[in-house]
Amino acid sequence: MSWLTTEQALNLLGTKSQTLYANVSRGRIRAKADPSDTRRSLYFADDVKRLATRHAGRRKTEAVAAEAIQWGDPVLPSALSTVSNGRLFYRGKDAAVLAESASLEEVALLLWDMKRPLRFEQSETRQMPPSLDSAFSVLAERITSDLPSLGRSLPALQHEAESVFGTVAEALAPGAWDQPLHRRLATAWNRPDAADLIRRSLVLLADHELNASTFTARITASAGATLSAATLSGLSTLTGPLHGGAWQSVRSLIMRAAAIGVDEAVRSYLAEGRPLPAFGHQLYPDVDIRGQALLGCFTLPPLFAQVRDVGEQLVGESVNVDFALTAMTHAYHLPEDAPLIIFALARTVGWLAHAMEQATSGRLIRPRARYVGPPVSDFTAARGES
């Protein structure tokens, strides 16, 4: 959850309530009134966890690391993107501002630190519709023939990243190569009026710090694997329901609202102890700037608007980018899996950027495991020796 109760915050901090309140008054921990009981307060989880980690001097290193890896401090340095003060930045540039006019190709140049336009290899125009299955297939075909990333210069990796990106783009946004990707995708879906919103979505989703799929891609690249293998790793992780597949949960919520009514649908989720899908985000205590940037550009379908209003009132969290993408898909009559296609095409840029950054560092990502299984028998005792 993005917000913690007083008891949860105190448990993580290991301090008295007076210390918690002092940290709030000093601006170290953000707090807000509990929507269900205004006499109580909620505390932003990321602030509490960060402060708990800083004050964990006497705790074992492995215990601190185990907690930090789940929405904690970054586990490795990166110059690519960050969320700061509720805004998303790509190499220091505000992503929401970029989304006003930039294309995904321009964001790729920024994240890949390239000074020349992208050059995709020309190929015959595909007649097949955008397909995630095709993206998996073409990436898998490349892995055994592409060169490992280890020991290669950044310019060489950038050239290969162009090629890998072109391969993915051909599968996810087939069309004329002289058209920008957002227009190719809009044309493939026969929805030219959605082109600008698709462009904005692609820019806003290009990268997002060390999310699950990006971390997976970096681990793959750290072993010296090909850039196509790193991209395939990221794509595989993206399909999980807690990551790129979140749109399906939003769709289920909307279908339930249509069947039994908005108020009853939202309350039924909460009564069952299920978090309301696409409300709130760990990195954005107030509002997911990506979702906000999209929602300001089109009119929400009535049912989506009602679910948003009731959900925000009962949960106390704003809708996030997954909600915005699903609503946009409905508003513009895009294919059902459009949120995942857009997400995958955009995030390929980020995966390749992180893979190149990791490969050029020359470091293997290899955490240790803290064993919690059955007791390990002593080898000497097992042999009957003293």
Active site amino acids: 281, 322
Give dist(CA 74, CA 70) in Å, integer.
Answer: 10
Read out DSSP for 283-345? Answer: TBSS--HHHHHHHTTSPPPHHHHHHHHHHHHHH---B-HHHHHHHHHHHTT--TTHHHHHHHH
Please report, in angstroms and rounded to a whole number, the separation of the first and last CA atoms in the chain. 52
Q: Alpha-carbon dihedral of residues 115, 117, 120, 125, nearest 10 degrees?
A: 160
Q: Is 119 helix (H, G, I), strand (E, B) or coil?
A: coil
Half-sphere exposure in the Cβ direction for 215 (13 Å, CA) = 15
Instruction: With CA atoms as reference, report the closest residue to 131 among 92, 172, 91.
Output: 172
Contacts of 373 (CB under 8 A, 6+ apart): none
